[in-house]
């Protein structure tokens, strides 16, 4: 259900602005997207897991706030990230 270390390293390398960049909003959104995808798959088979549902809702809200922050700073970075992660908005 969680993101493995190998997978997290791949995500960071794919979305990092520089070699040592691990905390930029783009990287955070990419990691959150992976966690949301994994948890969504879990929720399909465990529909009554309310604690996981609450965590999923919180992660979606956090991702939305980070995307709004990126959008307010640079519309180009926002559009690139949306297309790269295949998000609908």
What separation in angstroms does the CA of 56 have from each of 13, 15, 31, 63, 75? 25, 22, 13, 11, 26
Domains of the chain: 5-85 (1.10.287.10)
Low-confidence ranges of the chain (pLDDT < 70): 1, 89
pLDDT number for residue 22: 83
pTM: 0.91
- What's the pLDDT at 55? 96
Task: Give Cα separations from 68 to 49, 53, 81, 84 (angstroms).
Answer: 29, 23, 12, 16
pLDDT at residue 88, rounded to an integer: 79
Q: What is the pLDDT of residue 71?
A: 97
């Amino acid at each position: 259900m969680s993101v493995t270390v190998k997978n997290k390293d791949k995500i960071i390398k794919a979305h990092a602005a520089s070699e040592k960049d691990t905390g930029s909003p783009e990287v955070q959104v990419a990691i959150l997207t992976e966690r949301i995808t994994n948890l969504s798959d879990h929720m399909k088979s465990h529909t009554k897991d309310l604690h996981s549902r609450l965590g999923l809702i919180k992660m979606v809200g956090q991702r939305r706030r980070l995307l709004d922050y990126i959008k307010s700073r640079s519309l180009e970075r926002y559009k690139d990230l949306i297309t790269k992660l295949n998000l609908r908005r």
